[in-house]
Amino acid sequence: PGGDGNMLEWCLPRDMDLEGVEFKAIASGSHRVTTDFIYFRKGCYFGLACFANMAVESAVERGARMKSVGILSPSYTLLYRYMSFLEHQVRLQLQSPGHYSPLEAFYEDKRALLPPSGEGVVTACPATAWGATLNHSMHPEMKITHPAGCMSQFIRFFGEQIMVLWKLALLRRRILIFSPPPVGVVCYRVYCCCCLANISIPGVGVAVPEFRPFFYVNVADISALENELAYVACTTEKIFEEKKDLYDVYVDNQNVKTCREGLKPLLRLSAADRDKYRKLTEQRQMLLYSQEENGDCVSSEEDLFILFFLEQNNRIFQTLSEVAGSPDPTLTQESVRAMGLDPHGDRLFLLHLLEIYGYDTLLVSDQLCCS
């Protein structure tokens, strides 16, 4: 990219439609950082690009040379494996521009691993986890290969606010996260938000829109986002905040906001939320303690985090299904407590949940209405 905008310099296969990818592979505002990485969506593909910025003594380049090297794949779960290759390649491209043979070799090496797909498009990334994107039936072994500590960073950053994000993710709301560059760590927040909404009970959630990570978005993605029913994305562009019809929830750094009246009460933590957050914190402490004691690194914090929310979600829907199938399909304070929810503080959340997941035969006891 030169000073006047980004430009696609080289790609394989040459005939692939990559329109707009030059604005996804480099986040706007990146000239302020020296290195970054970025996850994004391009059509039905996911991309990962590594960015680097090098000072050069050249008036044409305005004193800085900035490039990104990226790959596209049908699944984002394996992209992280190639992060160090991409980081190395982008440094190489800055030091000796136009030297593409390592990229060509990488492409030739990897493309054979792709299963035959209907479109016949080949991207420079193997996809052994074909289709293993986070969907309703996601199991822990399908999770993204991510750096250790990405979940703990997420918990430290949002604190007990993650309980608010958990509810909004379960309700399949459109969540947009704003943050200035670097954007890499913010792409991980998008991924962590998606992990909050896993359910592994067969048949639950088939009618709700899939909760999809869009990762980094810019102004060029506005028309694509207009058609999305449920997503999590991040951006470095302030202008998105004004486009209130594009999102339900706007996360400005740590501040979770909404202009939808019906969602505002959900931004307040219930007693059950605080209780859950305390449990999560205790489980993390115990895990860290056992890792120190036994040098045990097998059970990771990532797994603990994913399973914690998976179990909460399964517990809710297990109870809902049991009540719905019973002779008296009425939700009482007891059944709401059995779900791990607060009969008063979580009443609105529950009503939203029943509506979205199609539990229209369930009755709600009067006890829950007198909050």
Task: Look at residue 140 in the predicted model and tell me its pLDDT.
Answer: 39
Comparing 129 with 369, the larger pLDDT belongs to 369
Task: Look at residue 57 in the predicted model and tell me its pLDDT.
Answer: 76
pLDDT at 117 over 70: no
Instruction: Share the mean pLDDT of the chain.
Output: 85
Give CA–CA dist 99/96, Å, rounded: 6
Which is it for strands 231-235 and 212-216: parallel, antiparallel or unpaired? parallel
Residue given tokens 């957050």 in the structure block:
277
Percent of the chain exceeding pLDDT 90 equals 64
Other C-beta atoms within 10 Å of 325: how many? 9
> What's the pTM?
0.87
Task: Look at residue 129 in the predicted model and tell me its pLDDT.
Answer: 27
pLDDT at 258 over 70: yes
Task: Look at residue 145 in the predicted model and tell me its pLDDT.
Answer: 52
Task: Look at residue 142 in the predicted model and tell me its pLDDT.
Answer: 40
Lowest-confidence range among 4-13, 56-65, 300-309, 357-366? 56-65
Mind listing the pLDDT tens digit for each residue in 59-112?
A: 777 778 899 999 999 888 888 889 999 999 999 999 999 999 999 999 998 875
Mind listing the pLDDT tens digit for each residue in 145-163?
A: 556 678 888 999 999 999 9
Give residues with Cβ within 8 angstroms of 339, minimum separation 6.
315, 316, 319, 320
Task: Look at residue 148 in the predicted model and tell me its pLDDT.
Answer: 64
**Which range is most confident: 14-23, 107-116, 271-280?**
271-280
Lowest-confidence range among 242-246, 297-301, 311-315? 297-301
Lowest-confidence range among 90-94, 140-144, 209-213, 282-286? 140-144
Mind listing the pLDDT tens digit for each residue in 180-239?
A: 999 999 999 999 999 899 999 988 888 888 888 999 999 999 999 999 999 999 999 999
Task: Look at residue 369 in the predicted model and tell me its pLDDT.
Answer: 61
Give CA–CA dist 178/351, Å, rounded: 29
Instruction: Give the closest residue to 145 by CA, choosing from 39, 217, 43.
Output: 39
Task: Look at residue 296 in the predicted model and tell me its pLDDT.
Answer: 60
Give residues with Cβ within 8 angstroms of 286, minimum separation 6.
none
pLDDT at 133 over 50: no
Buried b vs exposed e over 246-265: b needs ≥16 C-beta within 10 Å?
bbbbbbeeeebebeeeebee
Q: Both tokens of residue 228? A: 């999305």
Task: Look at residue 43 in the predicted model and tell me its pLDDT.
Answer: 87
Instruction: Give the closest residue to 218 by CA, choosing from 276, 263, 178.
Output: 178
pLDDT at 139 over 70: no
